[in-house]
Copies of this chain bind each other. A is one copy, B any other.
């Protein structure tokens, strides 16, 4: 790999990758060769305009010069040559003098996207778009982030679950549901692993997590919605309230941010001009009513009438938290019952608020968490109140009829975290292959 060249002594090496650019000068040719680990400069003294009595060596050199002159961007080549460290070379302080160059896979010379292509156009050619070093870095950051989260949980005896995505009924709401023929009946795609990660609690699993796709037939075209997204979920037993869930989530996030900063902090700074730091514990907590007051005091009237924050309200609240607490995260707690699903537990003694929260990061909601209602009679009442027929939920309600510990958990959108971490404008940039109402290809 290119990144492994630097510590090697001057001498023969082999490298393979794709041609990023060719600079074909009269007397010398330069090729920037890139692989998944980095880029290196290849150099070849040009041999042109041979005399009739050229030697076989001269003929071979001329052929190599001609080959290099015609290399299209993206051509996959394998090169043997001589490594030479030379601090005058800007790219890594080394170059490889080409000995042989094998074209492993040719490329169409006309690349359909350019640096100034629109995001939509880039997504049409996502496999070319992903060749950008920043895109490569982005998915390495994601890999590190996820693995650190999983490691945090695995080290604490959580069980990883793979809940089914095919369901006999809705997991969240009848709206935004993908439906399909399923043999003699119909199936629906899970909008979240909610019901099935809760199933792990009466099953006695104690603590579970899952990172998996979720599906919403959401017709919106915002920068933070997709019809398919990667959801990070955890659910834990024997909690006293949503406070236990928040404490777990913030600690897991600190573990993940620590891993990302250690491994990629410098590269992120260079590529995204973001100086990433590990958030301090605990994250600030602000009840929703207070959060709305802070936004109102800041001179912004939230147009929503349901009592929730809107995206502008979230941004303003986060800015206030950053200014007053120096923190990029904030838990907004105590959401009103009216804007929470039936399975959120309501506050003991005050049925108007729930034991729930949203987590905002750099101005945008990335996660929702809550203590769940585990008393089946209360659960049924709350479902009815939300207009859901308990008959549709029988399989779910059964989970609560044979003993279930108090429990809670959260769901978090992976692409949103990455978008906000790296200061990007859309989850389309931070999703490997975005899926939206008008995008199923490639």
Contact = CB atoms under 8 A, between A and B. Distances in A.
Contacts of A150: 147, 150
A440 B187 contact: yes
A340 B440 CA distance: 27
A199 interface: yes
Interface size grouping (class) on chain A: 35 or more
Given A76-B404, A437-B183, A160 B178 contact: no
A227 interface: yes
A104 B405 contact: yes
Interface stretch (A32-40, A282-290, A420-428): A32-40
A402 B181 contact: no
Contacts of A126: 199, 203
Contacts of A275: none
Interface in A41-93: 72-76
Given A205-B130, A213-B213, A180 B183 contact: no
A163 B431 CA distance: 9
Nearest to A144: B154
A436 to B, nearest CB: 9
B130 A162 contact: no
Contacts of A72: 403
A335 B105 CA distance: 25
Contact of A433 (B128, B196, B237): B196
A396 B237 CA distance: 45
A195 B203 CA distance: 37
Contacts of A130: 200, 203-205
Contact of A442 (B74, B76, B140, B199): B199
Given A127-B200, A180-B181, A196-B432, 7 more contacts: A36-B205, A76-B404, A105-B403, A125-B398, A131-B203, A178-B182, A399-B442
